[in-house]
């Protein structure tokens, strides 16, 4: 203990006497450890931390696939939720849907996050309200569903934390609901919600509505039931259900239910970007460690005589290694302390730009686990950057080091090690920069993709009429038509329309039959994206009608049923009519023979009805700029009304003016999301932009650290060679020759690092291949550009000491010992 205290005291004193070295090392480590800690806190929250709902190994998500039509994981219908209790492997199950609701107060309506859940939701998650009670099974059904649970935050913020809130009523979406419980502090599921309300299933929904698969279902397995066994039972159950209801589950669609760990629901899409970022910060940390190791090597060279003296006085090797490791640990600890501070501050910034998937699992914070990680990281980094210099320092040649005039160990082995470290730094930096460069090029490629509509000069307003006044679809439709009418009359508006499901906002499919389309043997009925629009929408979006006609006011509920399709739809089902093209389509060949054909769609309002295609519109990137355009058909909204629409108004109009005029239609309806169409498009790119921005920051950090490393090694080499350079200049070497000599040595080292880094980047490109768009993981332009950039940085970093070398005074240098 006494020795440890003394080691620490000496280490502190030594570091304080070399403030430049200490500051450089601590800042490098703080940046590395801080960035790694911040990203680990995300990794921990999203991928590692317990979900906090009891035994996580028993919590599963239940989802449906239609393998026959290649559909991914989807939700369940209400009758399927009521079929599932037959499965013996499930102890409990519940359903959840995120959403919003209009919270009505005396003064105004406010849109608030509202989750719709079944009573089994809380049972499955083993969550009990801190006050009051949870929902009972009877409250899942219409008529008994006038109840609500509130979050702990809402309890405090809206009700002042008064337990008398139990029994009070709130009006959400026009329905009065009695508050029956307050959820525990910190409870969240796929985001935070102010109110949790029952679905209020009707008898029709519960028994017959097998076509609407919108429930997110989770379950708790019975103790001891393995996931595979549960999966097998659920799959068999779903096949039995399909046999009992062949109309709903045509065999060719291969409808099957599956279970998987519940965590997958939250992390599946974000796991790879997070791990890529984690890998990137570890590279930054390694580069920082390389820098500190280089600094320590240079420092230990200067201190070689000190180690020799200690050794001569009887210090064993292990004692010297311990002393140096103590210094390293102290540096790491200082770096970690600053790093955790940086991480704490940086995390707020990080989460502000993070996409929803990263925030929905739970609170991302610096907690004990993260601090433990940082402590482990500190020890690991110490071992990485301090061990080699410590071992080297403990092996000094005592006799020569103790001689008067004995110089530090700037000898060949030390120089080789320092060069090796710079090579490693440059290689790691190139690897990281190439990754960032490829993602940046991908993003640039995506930004070059035309969305198929004109986002400039248009504003989108979400309309979600709620309340008993809008329980009737026709009432909602009247609201939509009225909002469109007032928006169209707003001064400055040149075009306006409404749509259900704006491009980039999601997917919504419907199975259809197409008249005249011959399906291949075994090919299931197509399921295509559908939208509902009000006239003027395509003009407001800047989409063209390339064949036939647009919707008009005449296409009302009483008129013949009509649809429009997009070009992708026409190309998908009628490519044979290519000879008969429509001249208005500049980009694509669209058969005008599509116009006049009919599709058969089964909806609640129109059972097995035929809809006539009256026009073809240009494609819009429905799933986002980086996704192919799906086949889409458009209903005229009055003929197939939806529960919500988005109004698009083009022209010289502000969001505030639009909000003002829309709110006049019904002041009770909140209008919280009125924003430029450009923002809608931008939001759709958030999931790509987030890792890109972070990777860019890490790459810049790596570049700076590498530049510092190259500079440090070159400057040290020049200092070591001062006498040699003086001799060279004394015998006639020009300043230019000295500069070339120093640069050649430094850039040779960098060149080797670039070659190794390029080889590693070529091999490791597959790690991010799935996140690239329109650019190969081996893109030569990116590789060459990044190598040139690093070469330039290396030239500047080594050029400064090279120029300093050229200004050496030969006489002064020759006097230098």
Partner 1 sequence: MSEALIEMQNIEKVFLTDEVETHALSNIHLAVGKNEWLSIVGPSGSGKTTLLAILGLLDTATGGQYLLDGKPVQDLSPSDRAHVRNRHIGFIFQSFNLIGDLTVFENVELPLTYRGMPPAERKKRVEDALNRVGMSHRARHMPGQLSGGQQQRVAVSRAVAGDPLILLADEPTGNLDSKNGQAVMKLLSELHQGGSTLIMVTHDPAYARLATRTVSLFDGRIVEETGTSAA
Q: Please, what is the minimum distance in Å from the beta carbon of residue 398 to partner 1?
A: 4
CB of 314 to partner 1, least distance (A): 2
> Nearest distance from residue 336's CB to partner 1, in Å?
24
CA distance 126 to 83: 22
Structure tokens at 482: 């009225």
Report, in Å, the least distance between residue 299 CB and partner 1: 12
Question: Shortest Cβ distance from residue 413 to partner 1 (Å)?
Answer: 16
Residues that bind partner 1 (CB under 8 A): 2-3, 6, 10, 13-14, 17, 305-306, 308-319, 398-399, 402-405
Token pair recorded at residue 145: 């569903």
Minimum Å gap between C-beta 310 and partner 1 is 7
Say which DSSP state 597 is in. Answer: -
- Identify which of residues 7 and 209 has a Cβ nearer to partner 1 in the complex: 7
Largest pairwise CA distance in the chain = 106
Closer to partner 1 at the Cβ: 394 or 543? 394
Minimum CB distance to partner 1 smaller for 17 or for 583: 17
The smaller minimum CB distance to partner 1, of residues 178 and 400, is found at 400
Q: Which two tokens stand for residue 589?
A: 């060949």
**Minimum distance, C-beta of residue 298 to partner 1, in the bound complex (Å):** 17
Structure-token match 């930004």, residue found: 447
- Name the pairing type of β-strands 609-617 and 562-566: parallel
Q: State the minimum distance, in angstroms, from the CB of residue 321 to partner 1.
A: 12
Q: What are residue 238's phi and psi, to 5 degrees?
A: -65, -30
Nearer to partner 1, 406 or 799 (CB): 406
Angle (nearest 5°) at CA 363 between 361 and 368: 115
Residue 18 or 581: the one with the smaller Cβ distance to partner 1 is 18
- Measured from the Cβ of residue 15, the count of other Cβ atoms closer than 10 Å reads 18
- Residue 383 CB, shortest distance to partner 1, in Å, is 22
Reported residue count of the chain is 817
How many angstroms separate the CA atoms of 228 and 369, rounded?
A: 31
Indicate the residue among 312 and 554 with the shorter CB distance to partner 1: 312
Distance CA 786, CA 196 (A): 51
Output 14 or 208, the one with its CB closest to partner 1.
14
Strand pairing of 493-500 and 131-132? Answer: unpaired
What does the alpha-carbon distance between residue 304 and residue 417 come to, in Å, rounded to a whole number?
16
Q: Which residues pair with 175 in a beta bridge?
A: 172
C-beta of 3 vs 811, nearer to partner 1: 3
Q: Could you please report the per-residue DSSP string of 659-701?
A: HHHHHHH-TTS----EEEHHHHHHHHTHHHHHHHHHHHHHHHH
CB of 14 to partner 1, least distance (A): 5
The whole-angstrom distance between residue 792's C-alpha and the CA centroid of its chain comes to 32
Q: Which residue has the tokens 């999301």?
A: 673
Q: Are strands 59-66 and 645-651 parallel, antiparallel or unpaired?
A: unpaired
Residue 1 beta carbon to partner 1: minimum distance, rounded to whole angstroms? 11
Q: In the bound complex, what is the minimum distance in angstroms from residue 702's beta carbon to partner 1? A: 33
Instruction: Name which of 310 and 441 has its Cβ closer to partner 1.
Output: 310
CB 773 within 8 Å of CB 628: no
Q: What is the DSSP string of 738-774?
A: HHHHHHHHHHHHHHHHHHHHHHHHHHHTHHHHTT--S
At residue 338, φ and ψ (nearest 5 deg) are -65, -40
Going through 485-641 in order, the beta strands assigned E by DSSP cover 493-500, 509-514, 527-534, 545-548, 562-566, 598-601, 609-617, 632-636
**Given the complex with partner 1, which of 6 and 108 has the nearer CB atom?**
6
Q: Which is nearer to partner 1, 12 or 668 (CB)?
A: 12
368: number of Cβ within 10 Å: 7
Measured N-to-C along each axis, helices 686-720 and 722-730 cross at an angle, to the nearest 10 degrees, of 60
User: Residues of 77-87 as b/e, b for ≥16 C-beta within 10 angstroms?
Assistant: bbbbbebbeeb
| 9 vs 507, beta carbon nearer partner 1 | 9
CA 742 to chain centre: 45
∠ CA 780-783-787 to the nearest 5 degrees?
140
CB of 191 to partner 1, least distance (A): 56
Whichever of 17 and 558 has its CB closer to partner 1, that residue is 17
Q: Name the minimum Å distance from CB 400 to partner 1.
A: 9
Nearer to partner 1, 319 or 572 (CB): 319
Q: Whole-number minimum distance, CB 6 to partner 1, in Å?
A: 7
CB of 16 to partner 1, least distance (A): 9
Alpha-carbon distance 534 to 311, whole Å?
88
**3-state secondary structure at position 346:** helix
**For partner 1, the closer CB: 14 or 630:** 14
| Pairing verdict, β 109-117 and 645-651 | unpaired
In the complex with partner 1, the residue whose CB is nearer, 3 or 353, is: 3
Of 155, 149, 106, 147, give the one whose Cα is nearest residue 128: 149
CB-CB contact of 711 with 804 (8 Å):
no
In whole angstroms, how close is the CB of 18 to partner 1 at the nearest point?
Answer: 9
Q: Smallest distance from the beta carbon of 424 to partner 1, in angstroms?
A: 30
Q: 601 - beta bridge partners?
A: 512, 609
The answer to whether 451 and 621 are in contact (CB under 8 A) is yes
Report the residue number, 10 or 345, with the smaller CB distance to partner 1: 10
Residue 48's SS3 state is helix
Count CB-CB contacts under 10 A for residue 644: 15
């Amino acid at each position: 203990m006494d020795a440890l205290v003394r080691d620490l005291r000496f280490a502190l004193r030594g570091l304080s006497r070399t403030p430049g070295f200490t500051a450089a090392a601590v800042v490098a480590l703080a940046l590395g450890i801080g960035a790694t800690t911040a990203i680990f806190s995300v990794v921990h929250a999203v991928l590692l931390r317990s979900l906090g709902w009891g035994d996580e190994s028993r919590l599963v998500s239940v989802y449906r696939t239609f393998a026959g039509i290649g559909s991914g994981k989807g939700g369940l219908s209400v009758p399927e939720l009521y079929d599932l209790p037959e499965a013996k492997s499930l102890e409990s199950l519940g359903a959840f849907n995120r959403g919003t609701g209009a919270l009505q107060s005396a003064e105004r309506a406010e849109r608030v996050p509202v989750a719709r859940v079944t009573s089994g939701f809380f049972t499955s998650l083993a969550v009990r309200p801190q006050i009051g009670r949870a929902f009972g099974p009877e409250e899942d059904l219409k008529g008994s569903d006038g109840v609500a649970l509130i979050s702990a935050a809402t309890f405090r913020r809206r009700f002042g934390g008064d337990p008398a809130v139990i029994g009070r009523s709130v009006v959400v979406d026009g329905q009065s609901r009695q508050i029956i419980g307050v959820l525990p502090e910190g409870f969240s599921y796929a985001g935070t919600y102010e109110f949790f309300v029952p679905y209020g299933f009707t008898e029709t929904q519960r028994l017959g509505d097998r076509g609407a698969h919108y429930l997110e279902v989770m379950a708790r397995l019975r103790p001891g039931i393995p996931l595979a066994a549960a999966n097998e039972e659920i799959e068999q159950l779903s096949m039995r259900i399909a046999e009992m209801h062949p109309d709903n589950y045509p065999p060719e669609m291969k409808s099957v239910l599956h279970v998987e760990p519940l965590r997958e629901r939250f992390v599946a899409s974000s796991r790879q970007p997070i791990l890529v970022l984690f890998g990137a910060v570890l590279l930054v940390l390694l580069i920082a460690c390389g820098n500190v190791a280089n600094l320590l090597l240079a420092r230990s060279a200067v201190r070689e005589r000190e180690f020799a003296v200690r050794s001569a006085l009887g210090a064993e090797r292990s004692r010297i290694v311990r002393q140096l490791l103590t210094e390293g640990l102290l540096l790491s600890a200082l770096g970690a302390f600053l790093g955790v501070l940086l991480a704490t501050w940086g995390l707020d910034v990080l989460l502000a730009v993070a996409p929803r998937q990263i925030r929905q699992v739970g609170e991302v914070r610096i907690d004990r686990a993260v601090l433990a990680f940082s402590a482990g990281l500190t020890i690991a980094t110490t071992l990485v950057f301090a061990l080699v210099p410590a071992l080297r320092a403990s092996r000094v040649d005592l006799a020569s080091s103790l001689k008067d005039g004995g110089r530090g160990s700037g000898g060949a082995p030390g120089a080789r090690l320092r060069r090796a470290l710079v090579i490693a730094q440059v290689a790691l930096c190139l690897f990281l920069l190439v990754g960032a460069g490829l993602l940046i090029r991908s993003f640039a490629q995506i930004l070059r993709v035309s969305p198929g509509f004109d986002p400039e000069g248009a504003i989108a307003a979400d309309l979600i009429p709620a309340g008993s006044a809008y329980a009737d679809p026709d009432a909602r439709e009247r609201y939509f038509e009225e909002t469109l009418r007032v928006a169209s009359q707003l001064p400055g508006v040149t075009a306006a329309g409404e749509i259900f499901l704006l491009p980039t906002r999601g997917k919504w499919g419907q199975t259809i039959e197409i008249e005249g389309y011959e399906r291949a043997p075994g090919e299931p009925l197509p399921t295509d994206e559908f939208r509902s629009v009000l006239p003027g929408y395509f003009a407001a979006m800047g989409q063209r009608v390339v064949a036939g006609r647009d919707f008009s006011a005449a296409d009302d509920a009483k008129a013949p049923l009509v649809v429009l399709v997009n070009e992708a739809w026409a190309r998908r089902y009628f490519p044979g009519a290519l000879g008969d093209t429509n001249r208005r389509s500049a980009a694509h060949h669209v058969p005008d023979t599509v116009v006049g054909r009919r599709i058969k769609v089964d909806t609640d309002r129109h059972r097995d009805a035929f809809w006539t295609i009256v026009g073809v519109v240009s494609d819009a990137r429905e799933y986002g700029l980086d996704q192919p355009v799906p086949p889409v058909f458009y209903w005229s909204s009055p003929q197939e009304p939806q529960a919500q629409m988005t109004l698009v108004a083009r022209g010289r109009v502000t969001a505030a003016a639009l909000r003002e005029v829309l709110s006049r239609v019904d002041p009770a309806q909140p209008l919280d999301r009125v924003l430029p169409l450009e923002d809608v498009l931008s939001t759709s790119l958030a999931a790509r932009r987030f890792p890109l921005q972070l990777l860019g920051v890490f790459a810049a950090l790596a570049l700076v650290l590498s530049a510092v490393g190259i500079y440090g090694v070159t400057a040290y080499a020049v200092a070591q060679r001062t006498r040699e350079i003086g001799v060279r200049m004394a015998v006639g070497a020009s300043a230019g020759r000295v500069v070339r000599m120093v640069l050649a040595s430094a850039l040779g080292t960098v060149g080797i690092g670039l070659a190794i880094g390029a080889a590693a980047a070529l091999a490791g490109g597959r790690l991010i291949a799935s996140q690239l768009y329109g650019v190969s993981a081996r893109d030569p332009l990116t590789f060459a550009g990044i190598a040139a950039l690093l070469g330039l940085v290396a030239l500047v970093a080594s050029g400064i000491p090279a120029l300093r070398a050229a200004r050496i005074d030969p006489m002064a240098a020759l006097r230098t010992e």
